[in-house]
Amino acid sequence: MDILGIDIGGSGMKGALVNIETGELITERFRIPTPASRKPKEMAKVFKDIVEHFDYKGPVGCGFPTIMNHGVCKSVGNLNKSWLNLNAQNLFSEACGLPVTIVNDADAAGYAVMNYGIGKGEQGLVLMITIGTGIGSGAFYNGVLIPNFELGQIPYKKYKKIERYAADSIRKKEKLSFKKWGARVNTFLELVDLIVCPDLIILGGGVSKDFDKFEKQIKIETPVKPAILGNHAGIIGAAAAVSF
C-alpha cells in the first residue's frame, strides 16, 4: 500500500509516497521550507501544497514536532505558541480534504527505524533520538512504542531545555565544530543514560549522516548507532502512522 508521509520540522516540511509494507520511498522527497512564522495557517497551506504536488488522494500520515495527543498539540516545541491545544490533525485534514493521521515526529521516525531499519528485532528499551531544529525522542520497549517521550526537554544548567544546548540548529547557529558540538550531544546522552538506562540509542535526523564526524565524542557505555534510514525515517514513519 502506497501512502503519502509528511514529516514536519522546524526548518522544513517534507513529503514522499512510501510503500508501507517495505518502508521504501517510491517517489523523490519533496521539501518546502517551514514558513518563518511557524504558525498554523501558513503551515497548513504548505501541507496542502505538498499533497497537491503528489496529486494524491488517500489517507495521509504526518509526523509533527510537538507532543501529540489524539491529534491535539500538547506542547509547541519550536513552533509558534498558537499551536498549543490546537487540533493539528483536523486543521491539516481540512486544508487538504483528506483524512490525516498525526503523531509526534520522533515517534514516527522511531517507528520506521524499529520496523524497517536498524532497530528491527531489537529488544529491551530502545531510544530513537532525532537531532535537528530540536531534539526529539521515541521510546520502544520490546518493539512497542511508548509515545511522547520528551528527553530533549530536560533542563540543563542555564538552559530551560537541553535541546537549546545540543540540537543541530544550535551547532549551526553558534558555528560549533563537530568536536565541540559532539561533546554537548554526549552530555545530553549521559543524562539520558542516567535517567532511563536504555539498551540501545539510535541517532536520527539530518545530522545522523555525519555521525563519523562526532562519533569519537560519544563516550557513554550504552551502544549508540546512527539510523541508516537517516533523514527519511521521519517520512517513512509518518506514512506508517496511518496504520499505527
75 binds ligand BGC (CB under 6 A): yes
233 binds ligand BGC (CB under 6 A): no
152 binds ligand BGC (CB under 6 A): yes
Among 4, 18, 100, 106, binds ligand BGC (CB under 6 A): 106
Q: Which segment (31-39, 54-62, 64-72, 206-214) binds ligand BGC by CB under 6 A?
A: 64-72
66 binds ligand BGC (CB under 6 A): yes
Half-sphere exposure of 78 (CA within 13 A, CB side): 25
**Within positions 173 to 212, which residues make up the interface with ligand BGC, using CB under 6 A?**
none
Q: Which residue has the cell 518493539?
A: 143
- Measured from the CB of residue 112, what is the shortest distance to ligand BGC in angstroms? 14
Among 7, 105, 122, 168, binds ligand BGC (CB under 6 A): 105
Among 34, 89, 101, 104, binds ligand BGC (CB under 6 A): 104
Question: 125-131 and 200-204 as β-strands: parallel, antiparallel, unpaired?
Answer: parallel
- Measured from the CB of residue 22, what is the shortest distance to ligand BGC in angstroms? 25
- Measured from the CB of residue 113, what is the shortest distance to ligand BGC in angstroms? 14
Q: Which one, 56 or 110, has the nearer CB to ligand BGC?
A: 110
By CB under 6 A, name the binding residues for ligand BGC.
Answer: 9, 65-67, 75, 77-78, 104-106, 130, 134, 136, 150, 152-153, 163
